[in-house]
């Protein structure tokens, strides 16, 4: 009972404590809200005072002081208050208006930009993405589409430019289209950016303000150069890449010198990385920009900066905090170098020459990269860049034999790494990249000669070669291919590789592929390496005979399933040696004879025997490559029966011990495996060269045809043919029947196609002839109609010309007659004037003067009317006087009547020509 009472008391106490705690939390929340509201009210009052002060300011000094007060006020406010300022839209218009005034912008750039940046940071924590975008667009719109903000870059003090760049960097991602349109057209702002870069590149960075300004400038350029090609071109041709590389180098040196893990070192590392990204974007502008950078020496500077990054990586511990940033910077610089040879167009050869010959890319890769396991995948990327540079300029391949690395040539340094004999930790991925590089290098005859010199010279001379020579190590690996220990298989860190398939004995696999590459590049090497080498004492064996011994040992080990358990495919070495021998015998009768006479032939035949066990993963490849080797040997050895080794003898061996069906099945299974591997999209180490599948299919087809030909040539009655198995004969008969059936079907198809072609050609020709005849007839009729129309139009034109000529003649005559009449009228007028003067001189009574004048006028008008009436009667009675009466207008002249007649005739001719030109008369073709 007591325990229950105490438990009840404890529970009541705990409940009471919880209630008290909740009440305290609620009270604290209310106090905070009240305090925030009070602060917001106080901030609103202070903001009203500052805005009023800005409006009432009369000079620049007062404005500057008011802007500084606004900055201080904004700095002291919480993010919620600044968010409210943005929503109220009271501060942004005032600040943007100040930025648009030139004098205010120059003097108060830092306070104004800092105020806007503070409001932007407040939106980052309290606002939404839509509010942030609207805030940025509002700033750009109210600063003359960003022109006023770009002018801030021309400020004098570094603090103003730093804040201006921070503001531009903030608003650029959402307003890049507007700002990007005005930035290239503002040379003063571009010049200010370049000046900042140049000053930062040559500065010691003793001042924190200069470092901050440089960082903001590089960050802004990274945004701009990622989208604007015009700005990239301008910055490039003003040596911006040189300044950016100098900034990256100085930042790395400053970081390594400080040796601290504080924020300043992180800022310097970020600055170096951003500068490298800017350079990468400038290089991506194209061949024109790359040519300028190469000629200006900036490509050499780029490699020097990359070496600086590698040096900084070498100074870092394995698990250092800055290793990731340095790796990222080195990756960017390597990608930039790759762009100089991969995305350079016509300038790739020139860029590669400078990179390898002048800038020392080969020395850097061999000395500073490959010997540093801590670089990780950077070594792989560096080798890929070097391979691309050598592929872009073939003349630089000779540098592999001329460049010395640790008292030996670069070729003698790279080949041992590939073969696993060099004391350098190299993953399988790195060795595969080195193989690609050496494949490119072996396309040069000089490089092949240096590599294969120990294999080509006499035995005594080859023994005198240094042990570090690439050719000597290649020869040693091939001789000991069947005796390599289990530890020769290269294992990646962690016991796995980055590929789905890898060889167990990578050393032998790479050695065989390297020699195969030499044979593919130069077919004459097949015969040269298959013939015995001269020796002082006696003829020594050839390189092929030395390689066939290990091949036989590998075949015996695979048949007995005695391959050691190791990481990767244990049959890879055998497959590589088989592929090498198949390529060696292809097109070389000497190599085929050496193989047919060697002890390795029975071992190869035994691999194809049905009784030989065939492991599922690799059995198809081993049996298929063995069939390829024996089939190639069958194609190349002589066909004479009296020869020591002939096609017939080898055919008998294959037919009796293997069987043609088994041989064909091995080839078909191998081709299916090749098709599956080529269609696989996973990360897989390339087991066979490009185009190998198609070449193998063609060769197997040739082998099948050769087998049929050999069987037909030997005949069924010869003693040797009795040795052939019955299944061989049946197989050949079925094959002949199938081919004969296909031939007959092809002949019938060809005959049918020829008949259809002849009929189609005939139909097409007849149709063309008919259409052509119709066209000629239609054109003839149309030409006749057009000719008639042309004749009528010419006649009409001639009639009009005659009428106009006669009209001109009549007009000249009428002019002469009118002149004569004018003279008569002048004389009559003079006589009338003289009469009127005489009458005026006669004295008249004064009272009757007005009456007499009116009577005289009436008499004259009556006389004129009587005269006109008389003239009309004369004109109608006597037409000959018409020329004299023509000026009076009631008697037409003779010339007018003739001209009217000619025009009427011409009009009739024109009406006759119109029907000939009507659409009904023109026949469309």
| Segments in 408-505 forming alpha helices (H) | 410-419, 428-441, 445-451, 453-456, 459-464, 470-479
Nearest of 615, 626, 708, 702 to residue 660 by alpha carbon: 708
Question: DSSP characters for 803-836?
Answer: HHHHHHHHHHHHHHHHHHHHHHHHHHHHHHHHHH
**Residue 590 pLDDT > 70, yes or no?**
yes
Domain boundaries along the sequence of the chain: 28-182, 207-359, 503-534+541-724
3-state helix, strand, coil in the chain (%, to 5): 80, 0, 20
Question: In CATH terms, is domain 28-182 a member of 1.25.10?
Answer: yes
Location of structure tokens 């009116």 = 854
3-state per-residue secondary structure call for 195-263? HHHHHHHCCCCCCHHHHHHHHHHHHHHHHHHCCCHHHHHHHHHCCHHHHHHHHHHHHHHHHHHHCCCCH
Share above pLDDT 70 across residues of the chain, in percent, rounded to a whole number: 75
pLDDT classification of 528: cutoffs 50, 70, 90:
confident
Provide the residue count of the chain. Answer: 925
Ranking 41-45, 214-218, 525-529, 735-739 by mean pLDDT, the lowest is: 41-45
Q: What angle do CA 799, 800, 803 make, to 5 degrees?
A: 90
The DSSP secondary-structure symbol of 320 reads -
Q: Which two tokens stand for residue 869?
A: 């009436």
What pairs with residue 503 in β-bridges? Answer: 569
CA distance 399 to 413: 13
pLDDT classification of 919: cutoffs 50, 70, 90:
very low
**Residue 120 pLDDT > 80, yes or no?**
yes
pLDDT classification of 565: cutoffs 50, 70, 90:
low
Give pLDDT, residue 490.
46
pLDDT classification of 536: cutoffs 50, 70, 90:
very low
Ranking 564-573, 574-583, 817-826 by mean pLDDT, the lowest is: 564-573
Q: Which helix (H) or strand (E) holds 675?
A: helix 660-679
Q: Which two tokens stand for residue 304?
A: 């020097």
Query: What mean pLDDT do residues 800-808 have?
Result: 81
CA distance 253 to 268: 9
792 three-class SS: helix
Give pLDDT, residue 900.
67
699 vs 806, higher pLDDT: 699
- pTM for this prediction: 0.69
745 three-class SS: helix
Give pLDDT, residue 532.
79
pLDDT classification of 492: cutoffs 50, 70, 90:
very low
Q: Which helix (H) or strand (E) holds 774?
A: helix 726-841
Q: Note whether 346 and 287 are within 8 A (CB).
A: yes
503 three-class SS: strand
Location of structure tokens 């571009």 = 190
Give pLDDT, residue 396.
85
Location of structure tokens 């009507």 = 918
The DSSP secondary-structure symbol of 457 reads S
Nearest of 480, 478, 502 to residue 491 by alpha carbon: 502
What pairs with residue 409 in β-bridges? Answer: 404
What sign does the CA torsion over 74, 114, 276, 316 have? negative
**Residue 237 pLDDT > 50, yes or no?**
yes
Location of structure tokens 């009449």 = 821
pLDDT classification of 41: cutoffs 50, 70, 90:
low
Give pLDDT, residue 539.
46
Query: What mean pLDDT do residues 546-560 have?
Result: 86
Location of structure tokens 């495996």 = 673
Location of structure tokens 């091939």 = 478
Query: What mean pLDDT do residues 288-307 have?
Result: 89
584 three-class SS: helix
Question: In CATH terms, is domain 503-534+541-724 a member of 1.25.10.10?
Answer: yes
Q: Note whether 489 and 506 are within 8 A (CB).
A: yes
Residue 283: count of CB within 10 angstroms of its CB: 26
CA distance 677 to 672: 9
Which residues touch 321 (CB under 8 Å, ≥6 apart)?
A: 261
Nearest of 112, 29, 121 to residue 78 by alpha carbon: 121
Residue 879: count of CB within 10 angstroms of its CB: 11
Query: What mean pLDDT do residues 776-791 have?
Result: 86
CA distance 671 to 663: 13
Q: Which two tokens stand for residue 180?
A: 């990007």
pLDDT classification of 251: cutoffs 50, 70, 90:
confident
Give pLDDT, residue 464.
47
CA distance 259 to 261: 7
Query: What mean pLDDT do residues 848-867 have?
Result: 65
Query: What is the tens place of the pLDDT at every residue in 11-34?
Result: 766 665 666 666 666 656 655 555
Tell me what the pLDDT averaged over the chain comes to. 77
Q: Which two tokens stand for residue 360?
A: 């020392």
Nearest of 358, 368, 357 to residue 334 by alpha carbon: 368
Which residues touch 612 (CB under 8 Å, ≥6 apart)?
A: 559, 606
569 three-class SS: strand
Q: Which helix (H) or strand (E) holds 50?
A: helix 2-56
Query: What mean pLDDT do residues 458-486 have?
Result: 65
Angle between helices 616-636 and 600-608 (to 10 degrees): 130
CA distance 778 to 886: 56
Residue 18: count of CB within 10 angstroms of its CB: 10
CA distance 532 to 67: 94
Share above pLDDT 90 across residues of the chain, in percent, rounded to a whole number: 1
CA distance 364 to 309: 12
**Given its phi and psi angles, is residue 810 left (phi above 0), alpha (psi -120 to 50 degrees) or beta?**
alpha
Query: How many Å separate Cα 539 from the centre of its chain?
Result: 58
CA distance 419 to 576: 14
pLDDT classification of 639: cutoffs 50, 70, 90:
confident
Reported as half-sphere exposure (CB side, CA atoms, 13 A), residue 273 has a value of: 15
Location of structure tokens 């196609």 = 753
Query: What is the tens place of the pLDDT at every residue in 372-384?
Result: 888 888 888 999 9
Reported as half-sphere exposure (CB side, CA atoms, 13 A), residue 701 has a value of: 7
Q: What angle do CA 209, 214, 220 make, to 5 degrees?
A: 125
Query: What is the tens place of the pLDDT at every residue in 99-118?
Result: 787 555 566 777 888 888 88
180 three-class SS: helix
Q: What is the largest CA-CA distance in the chain?
A: 177
Cα Rg, the chain, nearest whole Å = 53
What sign does the CA torsion over 868, 874, 877, 882 have? negative
Give pLDDT, residue 229.
86
Q: Which helix (H) or strand (E) holds 134?
A: helix 129-142
Location of structure tokens 């900042």 = 196
């Amino acid at each position: 009972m007591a325990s229950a009472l105490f438990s009840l008391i404890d529970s009541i106490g705990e409940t009471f404590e919880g209630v008290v705690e909740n009440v305290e939390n609620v009270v604290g929340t209310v106090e905070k809200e009240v305090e925030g509201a009070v602060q917001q009210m106080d901030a609103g009052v202070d903001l009203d005072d500052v805005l009023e002060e800005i409006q009432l300011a009369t000079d620049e000094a007062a404005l500057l002081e008011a802007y500084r007060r606004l900055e201080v006020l904004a700095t002291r406010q919480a993010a919620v208050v600044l968010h409210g300022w943005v929503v109220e839209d009271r501060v942004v218009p005032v600040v943007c208006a100040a930025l648009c005034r030139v004098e205010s912008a120059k003097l108060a750039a830092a306070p104004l930009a800092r105020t806007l940046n503070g409001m932007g940071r407040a939106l980052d924590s309290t606002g939404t993405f839509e509010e942030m975008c609207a805030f940025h667009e509002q700033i750009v719109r109210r600063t003359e589409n960003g022109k006023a903000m770009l002018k801030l870059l021309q400020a004098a003090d570094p603090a103003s430019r730093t804040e201006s760049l921070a503001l531009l960097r903030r608003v650029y991602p959402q307003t890049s289209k507007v700002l990007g349109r005005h930035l290239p057209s503002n040379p003063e702002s571009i010049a200010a950016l370049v000046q900042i870069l140049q000053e930062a590149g040559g500065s010691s960075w003793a001042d924190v303000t200069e470092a901050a300004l440089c960082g903001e400038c590089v960050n802004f350029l990274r945004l701009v150069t990622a989208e604007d090609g015009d700005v990239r071109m301008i910055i490039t041709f003003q040596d911006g890449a040189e300044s950016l590389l100098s900034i990256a180098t100085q930042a790395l040196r400053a970081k390594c010198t400080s040796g601290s893990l504080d924020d300043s070192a992180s800022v310097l590392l970020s600055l170096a990385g951003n500068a490298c990204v800017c350079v990468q974007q400038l290089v991506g502008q194209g061949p024109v920009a790359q040519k300028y950078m190469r000629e200006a020496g900036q490509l050499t500077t780029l490699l020097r900066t990359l070496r600086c990054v590698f040096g900084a990586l070498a100074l870092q511990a394995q698990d250092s905090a800055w290793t990731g940033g340095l790796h990222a910077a080195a990756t960017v610089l390597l990608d930039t170098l790759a762009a100089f040879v991969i995305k350079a167009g016509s300038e790739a050869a020139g860029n590669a020459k400078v990179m390898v010959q002048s800038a020392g890319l080969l020395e850097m890769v061999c000395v500073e990269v490959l010997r540093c396991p801590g670089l990780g995948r950077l070594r792989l990327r560096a080798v890929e860049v070097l391979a691309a540079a050598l592929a872009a300029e073939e003349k630089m391949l000779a540098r592999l034999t001329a460049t010395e690395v640790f008292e030996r040539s670069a070729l003698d340094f790279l080949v041992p790494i590939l073969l696993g004999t060099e004391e350098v930790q190299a993953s399988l991925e790195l060795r595969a990249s080195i193989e690609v590089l050496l494949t490119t290098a072996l396309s040069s005859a000089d490089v092949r000669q240096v590599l294969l010199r120990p294999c080509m010279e006499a035995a005594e001379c080859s023994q005198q070669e240094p042990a570090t020579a690439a050719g000597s190590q290649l020869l040693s690996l091939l001789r000991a291919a069947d005796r390599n220990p289990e530890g020769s298989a290269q294992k990646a860190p962690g016991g796995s590789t980055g590929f789905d398939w890898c060889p167990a004995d990578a050393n032998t696999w790479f050695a065989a592929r390297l020699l195969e590459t030499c044979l593919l590049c130069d077919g004459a090497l097949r015969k040269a390496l298959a013939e015995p080498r001269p020796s002082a004492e006696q003829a020594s064996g050839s390189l092929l005979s030395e390689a066939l011994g290990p091949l036989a040992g590998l075949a015996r080990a695979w048949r007995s399933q005695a391959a050691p358990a190791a990481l990767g495919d244990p049959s890879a070495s055998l497959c590589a040696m088989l592929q090498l021998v198949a390529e060696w015998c292809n097109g070389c009768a000497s190599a085929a004879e050496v193989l047919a006479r060697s002890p390795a032939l029975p071992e190869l035949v035994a691999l194809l025997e049905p009784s030989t066990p065939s492991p599922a993963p690799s059995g198809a490849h081993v049996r298929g490559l063995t069939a390829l080797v024996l089939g190639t040997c069958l194609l190349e050895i002589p066909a004479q029966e009296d020869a020591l080794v002939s096609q017939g003898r080898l055919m008998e061996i294959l037919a009796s011990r293997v069987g043609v069906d088994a041989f064909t099945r091995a080839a078909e299974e191998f081709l299916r495996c090749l098709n599956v591997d080529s269609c696989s999209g996973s990360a897989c180490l390339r087991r066979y060269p490009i185009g190998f599948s198609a070449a193998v299919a063609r060769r197997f087809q040739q082998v099948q045809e050769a087998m049929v030909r050999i069987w037909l040539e030997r005949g069924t009655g010869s003693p040797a043919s009795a040795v052939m198995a019955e299944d061989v004969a049946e197989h050949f008969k079925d094959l002949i029947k199938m081919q004969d059936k296909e031939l007959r079907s092809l002949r019938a198809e060809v005959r049918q196609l020829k008949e259809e072609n002849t009929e189609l050609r005939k139909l097409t020709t007849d149709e063309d002839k008919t259409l052509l005849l119709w066209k000629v007839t239609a054109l003839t009729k149309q030409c006749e109609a057009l000719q008639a129309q042309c004749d009528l139009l010419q006649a009409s034109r001639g009639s009009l010309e005659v009428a106009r000529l006669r009209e001109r003649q009549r007009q000249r005559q009428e002019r002469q007659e009118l002149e004569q009449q004018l003279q008569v009228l002048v004389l009559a007028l003079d006589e009338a004037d003289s009469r009127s003067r005489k009458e005026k001189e006669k004295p008249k009574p004064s009272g009757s003067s007005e009456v007499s004048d009116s009577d005289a006028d009436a008499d004259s008008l009556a006389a004129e009317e009587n005269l006109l009436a008389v003239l009309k009667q004369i004109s109608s009675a006597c037409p000959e006087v018409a020329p004299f009466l023509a000026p009076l207008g009631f008697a037409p002249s003779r010339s007018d009547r003739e001209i009217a007649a000619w025009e009427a005739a011409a009009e009739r001719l024109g009406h006759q020509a119109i029907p000939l030109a009507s659409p009904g008369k023109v026949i469309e073709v």
